[in-house]
Amino acid sequence: MPQPLDRLKETPSQTAGPFVHIGLVPSFAGLDGIYPDLGRSMVNERTRGERITITGRVFDGNGAPLRDCVVEIWQADADGLYPSPSETRGAADPNFTGWGRAAADAESGVYRFETIKPGRVPYPDGRMQAPHVSLWIVARGINLGLNTRMYFSDEPDANAADPILGRIEHKARLATLIGRREGAAVTFDIHLQGPDETVFFDI
C-alpha cells in the first residue's frame, strides 16, 4: 500500500531591507557602540600607494538613486597583493585593510571610499589584470548581493589587455565597468537595470 508523501514546502524568501544600511553599517544610524569603525577606514597615514577617493551612486531601473543601499569593496594594495591569509605571493601592506563598507548617503545616495589605487594582480593563467576594485551591492529588493568590478579610465592599455574585460561579449557594455578618474577622484555609478545596466558577475 503506498504511503502518503509529506512534502516540505519552500521557505518564503525575504529581501534585505528596508533597513539594510542600518544593519550592515550601525554607525550610519548613530549606533557607534556597535562595531564603530566597521569598514569605515581602509587607510592610515602609513599606507603605501596613491591616494584616491571613489564615489558614486546606485541607480534603480527608473534612474532614481538608492538611498538605502550598502556597497562593499575589495582590492589589492599598491603592490598588487591582497591582505589575506590566502595571499602566497608576498606580504601585503599591513597599513591597508583591502576591504571597505559604506552606506549610501540618506539624502544624495552617494557612497564614498577613501582608499589607494590598487596594483595589478595576475589572472589564474598568469596574465596580468588591469588595476581594479571589486564591489558588492546590497539593498532593499535585492535578494542576493550583486558583484561587479570597477576599472580605471586612466589605464586604457591595461584595460584593453585585461582577461576579464576581454571575455565580455557585448563591447558596448564595457563602459559600465570603467570608473571616471579626474585627479584623485574616481566616479563610478552603478545601474541595476535599464539601458545603462552595469555588468554584474556570477561569482
- 7 inside domain: no
SS3 12: coil
CA 34 to chain centre: 23
- 197 inside domain: no
pLDDT of residue 26: 59
Domain that holds residue 159: 20-191
Interstrand relation of 146-152 and 132-138 (parallel, antiparallel or unpaired): antiparallel
SS3 159: helix
How many structural domains is the chain composed of?
A: 1
pLDDT band at 20, cuts 50/70/90?
low
pLDDT of residue 142: 79
- 133 inside domain: yes
Closest C-alpha to 90, from 99, 102, 105, 80? 80
State pLDDT tens for residues 27-66. Answer: 556 666 655 556 668 999 999 999 999 999 999 989 999 9
SS3 177: helix
- 104 inside domain: yes
- 55 inside domain: yes
CATH number where 148 lies: 2.60.130.10
Cα dihedral sign, 38-44-47-53:
positive
Interstrand relation of 132-138 and 110-116 (parallel, antiparallel or unpaired): unpaired
Are residues 42 and 99 in contact, defined by beta-carbon separation less than 8 angstroms? yes
The contacts of residue 128 (CB under 8 Å, 6+ apart) are 120, 121, 122, 158, 161
pLDDT of residue 39: 66
State which of 31-35, 58-62, 140-144, 161-165 shows the largest mean pLDDT: 161-165
- 10 inside domain: no
- 199 inside domain: no
Give dist(CA 22, CA 139) in Å, integer: 11
Residue 154 has pLDDT above 90, yes or no: yes
- 33 inside domain: yes
Residue 12 has pLDDT above 90, yes or no: no
State pLDDT tens for residues 62-105. Answer: 999 998 889 999 999 999 999 988 889 999 999 999 999 998 88
SS3 158: helix
